[in-house]
Amino acid sequence: MLSHHRTRLPIKIWPHFFTRTSTFSVTNSITPHEQPSEPPRTRITDFKMSLVDAKNPVPNYQRFYQNAYKNHTRLWKIGPRSRMLMTPYLILLWGSLGASFYGAGRKVLGYNSYFGN
């Protein structure tokens, strides 16, 4: 007869790095190859770090969008790229809607295709 209970495998609750002696504990318990290294020295550089020292553009964007919104401009028409993004979208939207109504009208008249009989 087969046993229906599953055998449980021993599971280590703590991963290996939790059970190892920390490098910040007493130095006598650390093996020689695990001696804490010297803290890294920071370099003084001449170049400007652009991600750290960059000016925050969010307040300017906020002013730009809030002023346009106060003038009752729709949110999707405010941005500088909105015309470039909205034009193909609107062409596809109204074109597909028009094609659907054209096909539905032809179906009502008894034609099963867009063109021909």
pLDDT, one tens digit per residue, over 80-112 is: 899 999 999 999 999 999 999 999 999 999 999
* Residue 9 covered by a domain: no
Model confidence pTM above 0.85: no
Distance from C-alpha of 23 to C-alpha of 54, rounded to nearest angstrom: 37
pLDDT for position 83: 93
* Residue 108 covered by a domain: yes
What is the domain range of residue 94? 81-117
* Site of tokens 């099963």: 112
pLDDT for position 41: 67
Instruction: Work out how many domains the chain is built from and give that number.
Output: 1
Residues in the chain where the model's pLDDT stays below 50: 22-23, 25
Query: Contact, 111 vs 117, CB < 8 A?
Result: yes
* Residue 95 covered by a domain: yes
